Amino acid sequence: MGRSSKDKRDIYYRLAKEEGWRARSAYKLLQLNDDFNLFNGVNRVVDLCAAPGSWSQVLSRKLIEERPNSKDMVKIVAVDLQAMAPLPGVIQIQGDITKISTAHQIIGHFEGEVADLVICDGAPDVTGLHDIDEYIQAQLLLAALNITTHVLKRGGTFVAKIFRGKDVDLLYAQLKVFFLSVTICKPRSSRNSSIESFVVCQNYSPPSGYMPSMLNPLLSNPSQFKSLEGANRVIIPFMACGDLSAYDSDQTYPLAAEQKQYKSLLPTQEPINPPYKTACLLKKNNSLASSENSGKKCNMSHSTNST
Ligand code: SAM
């Protein structure tokens, strides 16, 4: 979370900084928890696609800080492609959740034990091409589900971000194969303008004889879904999470009365290796091409074939 003019407008973005969360996403998990009691009796959790780490922060606070007596029983494993600054009690893995090697690393950390909860807030870098974004998001969810079938205990819970696009029924049907209850939720802090929602899948109960396998990704043949009819096509309940007392994420709010003038807050956790790092360095050294001479600089770099 860097500084931007959005800071002034987005209430959850601002609150996250004030309350020390690394990202506004923290409120999505907190609001899901308000409705589903996700952390009740939970000690072992996998947080997939965890960077910059606000969901892991929620886990660390709820499972460790607020329950110091059960601290030794808690295991939180967080995974992301990106490096993440450390958090108390959180084991970190840097890797791609669609890769078998990452799945093995996660499973390895559980040493034969199983997780009570798997959460996944995974999102691709959106391209703006909806079909492609939805497809990649669905692949991430399936990768997360595949890992989940290796580590989740029977009766456990899986929570994941989902894009409610036109082929989403296919994913719902697949999730219903593994969980007795599947609910789609839209937390108040998730922008109305965003296609994202969250599936809360409860009571893990794989079909008898199901053998988890990383070599055979789930649902690799979407055409199979078209043949499903009647009761085999599933209607999933939809739920708006959080009551009207929560802030509306798409509304603009005035500053609190005591804050006469807007004061920008620093990010809770600076990104470790952001994609814009090189540009910042260039700017610091005054080496960025200005709009007037960018064409000139660009031509120069072409002609000299140097950076
Ligand atoms: N839940 C996080 C939090 O609260 O701070 C925010 C997650 S962010 C919306 C989505 C994350 O998904 C990004 O950090 C991105 O690196 C990660 N991601 C996307 N594809 C991934 C993949 N194939 N494997 C692991 N992480 C992935």
- Pairwise CA distance, residues 181 & 175, whole Å: 9
Q: Which atom of ligand 1 is closest in space to residue 121's alpha carbon?
A: 1
Best substitution site from 38, 49, 57 to test ligand 1's pocket, by max atoms within 8 Å of Cβ?
49
Per-residue pLDDT tens over the stretch 188-240: 999 988 889 999 999 999 988 777 776 655 544 555 555 555 655 566 677 77
Q: Which of 25, 80, 198, 214 most suits a substitution to test ligand 1, by most atoms within 8 Å of the C-beta?
A: 80
pTM of the model: 0.79
State whether residue 248 is helix, strand or coil: coil
* Interface predicted TM-score of the whole assembly (ipTM), two decimals: 0.99
Angle between helices 130-151 and 168-178 (to 10 degrees): 10
- Cβ contacts of residue 235 below 8 Å, gap of 6+? none
What is the distance in A from the centroid of ligand 1 to the CA of 26? 13
Distance 83 CA to ligand 1 centre (A): 10
Cβ–ligand 1 contact at 122 (below 6 Å): yes
SS3 204: strand
Q: So what's the pLDDT on residue 25?
A: 97
Distance 22 CA to ligand 1 centre (A): 13
The per-type count for the chain, helices as H runs and strands as E runs, is: 10, 8
pLDDT in tens, 197-210: 999 999 999 988 77
Radius of gyration of the CA atoms of the chain, in A: 22
